[in-house]
Every structure is written in structure tokens, then in C-alpha cells.
Amino acid sequence: MIPIVKFGDPLFFYLSFFISSLALYLCPLFSNCQTDTLLQGQELKDGYHLDSAFGTFRLGFFTGPDSHRYLGIWYNIPNSQQYRLRGFPPYFSTSPNGDEDEGPAPVWVGNVNVPIISRTGVLTVASDGNLKIGNGRGEEIVSLTAATGISGKTSGVLLDSGNFVLRELNRDGSVKRELWQSFDYPTDTLLPGMKLGANLRTGQVWSLKPWPLETNFTFGLNPNGTIKNQLAILWNGRVY
């Protein structure tokens, strides 16, 4: 006889927690399984992806105009609002079918200056709690984060805003603090909720730069402007 577990029974909550945790851990192993979270110790290999909770954004590896592979975030739905600083209309392949099918252009790129030659890219939440991009040989290519003082487990989560965040978790799985977010490191696209300007305390600057075109153009806060908080297109730091 199969036992019946009723809502409110302590066993019900234990089983629910176990099943949801197991599904969250195993989901990145299957390309057709939708999840927005990468747990510490997990790997997201080339050909697999994270989808935000409502499917608005997708994170994974794509083919750039140079035929190399990059980690990026792109819209997963049509007719999306985005503002890009573009030098020319390059070819991107973010489709799951590989190099032959063009997909939506990425709104954020993780390894801008360090392309991956083949389809061996791996995104992982490493043992030290940081997000790292490596290759199939176990070699680190790019460390996206350099958080220190981490005492608990961490996880990477793709939000429906298009922001990819690294969070430190409490023992019960709740969020303790956010350690890093992709919105602080924009590429060529301004999404709703992002900011341009500068952090006067840390000195960090938020600006857009055309990609993959190599140029000295940027779009951001004019550091020499007489008008407060003036945005401008800059060439080598000067208003163009």
C-alpha cells in the first residue's frame, strides 16, 4: 500500500524540499530543462543555457562575428526593448542550432576580450564561490568575479531584468547578500534598470562601448561637462 502524504505533514515539506533541490541541481545537465540558477559546484557547458524565470532572457555561449565563442545574455522573446551602441550590424549566432542560424544579438558579453576558440566553454560557480569561465581542459579563461570573505554557498541567478547576479546564501537557502551583478559591467546595450555614470566612492564607471568593433568610442557620463550629469558620446574620453 502506498502511503499518503498530506499537506501540513512535516514529511510533505521534507519531500517537497528534496524534490525541488534535486531538480534544481540536475536541471543544468539537460539542455531542454529550464532553470535560472547555477549552484556552486555546477557547470554550464557550451550548448546548454539558463533561462530567466519567465523566459525573457537566456544566458549561454554563442558564436560571434569572428566565429569564436562567447558567454552572453540575449533576449529570448521577440519585440524586446533594448538600446545598443553599434558600430556595424555584425552576425551573431545565439540559436541552439549552431553557427548556421542567426539568433538575437547579445545584450551582455562576459569574455569580451578573451574569446573561446572552440565549443569547449564552461561557466562554473567555483569552489571559492566565484563565477569563472573555463575550457574543456579545466583551464580558467576568465574570472567574472573576485569576491572575498565568502562564508556560505553561492549561486548565479539570471533575473528577468536581464541581470545575472552572484549571490551568497544563508544555510536555509535564503539570500544573504549580492556579491556581483552583470549590470555593473555593461557591454554595448542599455537595458531598463541599468545605469550610466560613475560611482564617486569606488571610482567605477558605467558606460557603453561598441562590440565587437574595436574602437575608442564610448557612451556615458561626460567627465568634463559643465552641465551636471550630462551624457555624451566620447572619443578617447572627450566629447565627440
Pairing state of beta strands 131-134 and 122-125?
antiparallel
CATH classification at residue 41: 2.90.10.10
- pTM score: 0.77
Domain residue limits at 141: 31-185
- One digit per residue, pLDDT tens: the chain, 240 residues? 445 544 455 554 444 444 444 444 555 444 445 799 999 999 999 999 999 999 999 999 999 988 899 999 999 876 555 555 554 444 456 655 444 456 778 999 999 999 999 999 999 999 999 999 998 788 899 999 988 889 999 999 999 999 999 999 999 999 999 999 999 999 999 999 998 888 878 878 888 888 877 777 778 777 776 666 677 777 776 776
Q: How far out from the chain centre does Cα 129 lie?
A: 16
CA-CA-CA-CA dihedral for 196, 202, 204, 206, to nearest 10: -10
Same domain, 199 and 92: no
Same domain, 124 and 234: no
Same domain, 161 and 212: no
Q: CA 21 to CA 80: how far, in whole Å? A: 32
Same domain, 178 and 225: no
Q: How many domains does the chain have?
A: 2
Q: CA 68 to CA 65: how far, in whole Å? A: 7
Of 140, 161, 185, which residue is a domain's last? 185
Instruction: Tell me the CA distances in angstroms from 8 to 19, 23, 143, 162, 199, one per residue in order.
Output: 17, 22, 44, 36, 49
In a domain, 133, yes or no: yes
CB 153 within 8 A of CB 129: yes
Same domain, 105 and 223: no
Phi, psi of 229 (to 5 degrees): 55, 40
In a domain, 213, yes or no: yes
CB 36 within 8 A of CB 60: no
In a domain, 23, yes or no: no
